[in-house]
Amino acid sequence: MNDLDLPNLIESMARSARKASLELATLSSEKKNQFLNDLADALVANTENILKANSVDINNAQSMDLSPPMIERLKFTEERIAQMATGVRQVADLSDPIGEEIERMNPPRGFDLRKIRVPIGVIGIIYESRPNVTVDCAILCLKSGNASILRGGKEAFSSNTCLIEIIQSCLNKNEINSDAVQLIPTTDRNALNELLKQDQYIHCIIPRGGEGLIRFTVENSRIPVIKHYTGVCSVYIDENHDYDKAEKITLNSKCQRPSVCNAAENLLIHQNALSSLPKLAQALHEQGVELRVDSSTKAALTGTGIPMIDASDVDFGEEYNDLIISIAVVPDMKSAIELINTKGSAHTDTIVTENASNAQDFLNGVDSATVLHNASTRFSDGFEFGLGAEIGISTDRLHARGPMGLNELCTYKYIVHGKGEIRD
């Protein structure tokens, strides 16, 4: 598409999305839920078409020499499509947040004053690789009464185009304005620049992807941005731990899907728990994990034959998105908390311990959006939290933090019922 067309194209999309958002704000829960259930059925029915489109993206990604973890993020399977449809149905089953009363107040004048949830309006979502984000964002925005403009990465363009056709077909079937969910129909990078200028029509931008994309978005947007820069998550093994739990949680946090933002990048272990370290390191090695170790870890593993690399200070703040983990021995839990709060990204961290007091101190002391006790970092996820899906994970502190579901896609307004009151 010619660059000269982009300003008009993007502004037109933003304007029509704003119009659609005003219609969505008053759409009944029944109509929204019917659309969602129709969409779930359509995704399953179109599995073959989705996989065919996805294979085009996979082939292109391989020709571009994308890393295996990035290709894994991009790949659809029948199981993942079925899970995506389940997520859509789960969102349909959730309560509609729009119109929900947050608070009822009693001002001195005596009139009826209530704070209720309302949609934000138009949300722009910028994302890379994972095409399931197209569906997750579309359904959460629509259920919460928001219009959405989606800007996927070039590596998933074929998959995203297929999915948006299915979504818009279901919107039309349910007589919902199809401008409620739009995909920018070009991979031209200048389209992103134009999108970030549309502060007259778009109310919020949510970037999902690498740190470079997110920083570019924040630095160039006229529109408020909700984001997390990186997912530097840690597992801390306390001195009072159960080894079987420690191994299962560590392996799941690191290896179950290493390319995602809630995968563990750091393993911290109390110096009094060193007897567990060789066995745990061996288990990680057998899963193909590269171990980057501090001097104390290296000393504890010397003679085991387990391959390891000296870790630099920078490694403990690195998001690998790969089968790599940094390991450090800490003298006490306070040191583990300090390392997490200084080197981590305030995303997700977990403690493995049988000591309830230590667990509570860790939960209180770690300044992250999600903190767990005896559970994998991989649970920091909208689907796992029962939100149906998530539009992203925020490490911001205003408006939304952690996995963002329906309530986080709402703002509020005040509703007043009077009896003729006037102000003196």
Q: What is the mean pLDDT of residues 238-266?
A: 96
Do the domains spanning 3-226+404-417 and 233-379 agree at the CATH topology level? Answer: no
Chain-wide mean pLDDT for the chain? Answer: 94
Q: What is the mean pLDDT of residues 278-288?
A: 98
Q: What is the mean pLDDT of residues 367-381?
A: 96
Whether residue 256 is predicted with pLDDT greater than 80 in this model: the reply is yes
pLDDT of residue 186: 94
Q: What is the mean pLDDT of residues 68-80?
A: 89
Whether residue 66 is predicted with pLDDT greater than 90 in this model: the reply is no
- Closest among 369, 365, 364, 366 to 393, alpha carbons compared: 369
The DSSP-derived string for 197-211 is T-TTT--EEEEES-H
Looking at the structure, give the CATH architecture of the domain made up of residues 233-379.
3-Layer(aba) Sandwich (3.40)
Q: What is the mean pLDDT of residues 219-244?
A: 95
pLDDT of residue 168: 97
Contact between 324 and 292 (Cβ < 8 Å): yes
Per the listing, tokens 């979504």 go with 167
Q: What is the mean pLDDT of residues 166-185?
A: 98
pTM score, whole prediction: 0.85
Locate 317 and state its tokens.
């703040």
pLDDT of residue 388: 65
Whether residue 399 is predicted with pLDDT greater than 90 in this model: the reply is no
Locate 83 and state its tokens.
């899970």
Whether residue 211 is predicted with pLDDT greater than 90 in this model: the reply is no
Residues pairing with 269 in the sheet: 237, 329
The DSSP-derived string for 261-281 is TTSEEEEEEEGGGGGGHHHHH
- Closest among 144, 163, 141 to 152, alpha carbons compared: 163
Instruction: Report pLDDT digits (tens) over 284-303.
Output: 999 999 999 999 999 999 99
Distances (CA, A) of 138 to 13, 88, 280, 401: 15, 10, 41, 20
CA gap 413, 359 in Å, rounded: 39
CA gap 249, 296 in Å, rounded: 22
In the chain, what percentage of residues exceed pLDDT 90? 82
pLDDT of residue 1: 44
Contact between 140 and 409 (Cβ < 8 Å): yes
In the chain, what percentage of residues exceed pLDDT 70? 99
What 213-219 contacts at long range (C-beta under 8 Å, 24+ apart), as own/partner pairs, is 213/126, 213/128, 216/192, 217/126, 217/192
Instruction: Report pLDDT digits (tens) over 129-153.
Output: 889 999 999 999 999 999 999 999 9
State the Cα angle at 46 between 40 and 47, rounded to 5°: 95
CA gap 271, 269 in Å, rounded: 6
Q: Where are the domains of the chain?
A: 3-226+404-417, 233-379
Whether residue 184 is predicted with pLDDT greater than 90 in this model: the reply is yes
Q: How far is CA 236 from the centre of its chain?
A: 23
pLDDT band at 110 (very low <50, low <70, confident <90, very high): confident
pLDDT band at 4 (very low <50, low <70, confident <90, very high): low
pLDDT of residue 128: 85
Q: What is the mean pLDDT of residues 186-215?
A: 93
- What is the chain's Cα-based Rg? 24
Any idea which of 244-248, 263-267, 372-376, 380-384 has the lowest mean pLDDT? 380-384
Whether residue 2 is predicted with pLDDT greater than 50 in this model: the reply is no
Classified by CATH at the fold level, domain 3-226+404-417 comes out as Aldehyde Dehydrogenase; Chain A, domain 1 (3.40.605)
List of residues 6+ apart from 39 with CB closer than 8 A: 88, 135, 139, 166, 167, 170
